[in-house]
């Protein structure tokens, strides 16, 4: 498998910037990385829901309005990167760009207009980097077969590994934006709409994972916006607190209770839920279904929530490639 960041040079201990241009959100991590110790010290971290993948499932193109939303955020991130000393900066582009006919042109614009080393990740590369970030700082998992679930806007990565070794990974065509656009019309969504979404996700996951592997993982880590938002709700946070969310254990039964509560709310009510960013509201029901169905497929009753994900995995890879 090719290394998507092999061309980036960095010092043995270095500051690096990583921008994740995802289907639903655009995120930034500026960090100081010690590759020998595997230590990452965050300098700046930002996230904005930009919905780049809006309409891509139906039209196979990035919409002009969606591109402009991302451009505004990238301009803000470029200023933050420059203020942090203009370290090597890589942008990873995921599901929406992979699926869009104008994805390559958008990647060129990210590279040319914002000075970012823009790389379109394959699903395999995204899964590998996400796993690397998710297990970072968790030495207790070195002897435990672990499932990493990365729920994105257009795809969900399911990765099984143990320690630094990946045993299986797949990038599925199931994501919060894609499945919401396919199935959820009502406000709140009707029961048959939620069931259609559930059936769709269940079929996609079951087809993507060979049956013998569903018995392998003994633990699970959930990354990205859905698990972190659900953790904040479970903790009863009125203001999001990443330190409390990191490492929080969510029971599958709790996720099912939250789904029943959230799916009964209108979009306006969801936007007002304390502890959850209003822009997360349109995707939270679909995301919760995705998380529950992934856990159900593997027979797992709980998941550890982590903010260490694709951003961390890419940052480590960038520095270690130097």
Name the band, by pLDDT with cuts 50, 70 and 90, for residue 4.
Answer: very low
User: Considering the chain, what percentage of its residues have pLDDT values greater than 70?
Assistant: 94
User: Looking at 184-273, which runs of residues are DSSP E strands?
Assistant: 219-223, 249-251
Q: In this predicted structure, which of 5-14, 67-76, 103-112, 269-278 has the lowest mean pLDDT?
A: 5-14
Domains of the chain: which residue ranges?
14-124, 139-305
Kindly tell me if the per-residue pLDDT of 152 is higher than 90: no
What pLDDT score does 140 carry? 65
Residue 274, classified by CB atoms within 10 Å of its CB into exposed (0-12), middle (13-18) or buried (19+), is exposed
Q: Is the predicted pLDDT of residue 270 greater than 70, yes or no?
A: yes
pLDDT band at 177 (very low <50, low <70, confident <90, very high): confident
Query: For residue 190, what pLDDT is reported?
Result: 94
Q: Is the pLDDT of residue 164 over 80?
A: no
**Dmax (CA) of the chain:** 54
Q: Which residues of 225-247 are buried (b: 16+ CB within 10 A; e: fewer)?
A: bbbbbbbbbbeeeeebeeeebee
Task: Write the pLDDT tens digit of every residue in 18-66.
Answer: 999 988 889 999 999 987 766 888 999 998 989 898 888 788 899 999 9
CATH architecture assignment, domain 14-124: 2-Layer Sandwich (3.30)
Q: State yes or no: pLDDT of 139 exceeds 80.
A: no
pLDDT in tens, 205-256: 999 999 999 999 999 999 988 999 999 999 999 988 888 998 999 999 999 9
Contacts for 207 with CB less than 8 Å, ≥ 6 apart: none
C-alpha pair distances (Å), 35 with each of 19, 31, 90, 316? 19, 12, 17, 7
| 307: Cβ contacts below 8 Å, ≥ 6 apart | 223, 228, 242, 245, 246
At a CB cut-off of 8 Å and minimum separation 6, what does 76 contact? 46
Confidence at residue 155, expressed as pLDDT on a 0 to 100 scale = 85
Degrees, nearest 5: CA angle 118-120-123 = 150
Is-same-fold flag (14-124; 139-305)? yes
Residue 269: name the closest of 189, 198, 197, 200 by CA: 189
Buried b (16+ CB within 10 A) or exposed e, 123-144: bebbbbbbbbbbbbebeebeee
Contact assessment for residue 203 and residue 182, using Cβ atoms and an 8 Å cutoff = no
Q: Is the peptide bond before 2 cis (omega within 30 degrees of 0)?
A: no
The pLDDT value recorded for residue 2 is 44
CATH class of 139-305: alpha beta
How far apart CA 234 and CA 312 sit, in angstroms, is 25
How far apart, in whole angstroms, are the C-alpha atoms of residue 245 and residue 228? 6
pLDDT reported for residue 3: 53
Query: Does 322 or 242 have the greater pLDDT score?
Result: 242
Residue 202 pLDDT more than 90? Answer: yes
Q: Is the pLDDT of residue 319 over 90?
A: no
pLDDT bin (cut points 50, 70, 90) of residue 10 is: very low
Lowest mean pLDDT among 11-20, 134-143, 185-194, 299-308: 134-143
DSSP element (H, E) containing 196: helix 191-208
| Span between the terminal Cα atoms of the chain, in Å | 18
């Amino acid at each position: 498998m090719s290394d998507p960041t092999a061309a980036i040079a960095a010092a043995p201990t270095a500051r690096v910037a990583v921008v994740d241009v995802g289907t639903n959100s655009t995120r930034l991590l500026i960090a100081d990385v010690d590759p020998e110790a595997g230590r990452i010290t965050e300098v700046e971290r930002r996230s904005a829901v930009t919905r780049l993948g809006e309409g891509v499932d139906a039209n196979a193109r990035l919409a002009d309005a969606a591109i402009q939303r991302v451009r505004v955020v990238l301009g803000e991130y470029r200023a933050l990167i420059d203020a942090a000393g203009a370290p090597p900066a890589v942008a990873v582009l995921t599901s929406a760009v992979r699926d869009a006919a104008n994805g390559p042109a958008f990647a060129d614009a990210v590279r040319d207009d914002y000075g970012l080393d823009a790389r379109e990740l394959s699903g395999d590369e995204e899964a590998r980097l996400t796993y690397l970030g998710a297990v970072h700082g968790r030495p207790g998992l070195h002897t435990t077969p672990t499932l990493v679930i990365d729920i994105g806007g257009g795809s969900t990565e399911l990765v099984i590994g143990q320690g630094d070794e990946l045993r299986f990974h797949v990038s599925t065509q199931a994501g919060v934006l894609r499945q919401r656009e396919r199935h959820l019309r009502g406000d709140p969504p009707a029961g048959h709409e939620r069931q259609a979404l559930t059936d769709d996700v269940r079929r996609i996951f079951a087809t993507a994972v060979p049956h013998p592997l569903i018995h392998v993982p003994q633990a699970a880590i959930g990354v990205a916006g859905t698990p972190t938002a659900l953790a904040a709700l479970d903790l009863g946070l009125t203001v999001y607190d990443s330190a409390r969310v990191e490492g929080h254990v969510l029971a599958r039964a709790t996720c099912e209770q939250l789904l029943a509560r959230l799916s009964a709310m209108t979009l306006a009510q969801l936007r007002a839920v304390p502890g959850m960013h209003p822009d997360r509201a349109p995707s939270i029901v679909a995301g919760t279904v995705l998380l529950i169905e992934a856990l159900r497929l593997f027979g797992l009753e709980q998941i550890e929530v982590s903010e260490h994900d694709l951003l961390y995995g890419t940052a480590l890879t960038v520095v270690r490639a130097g």
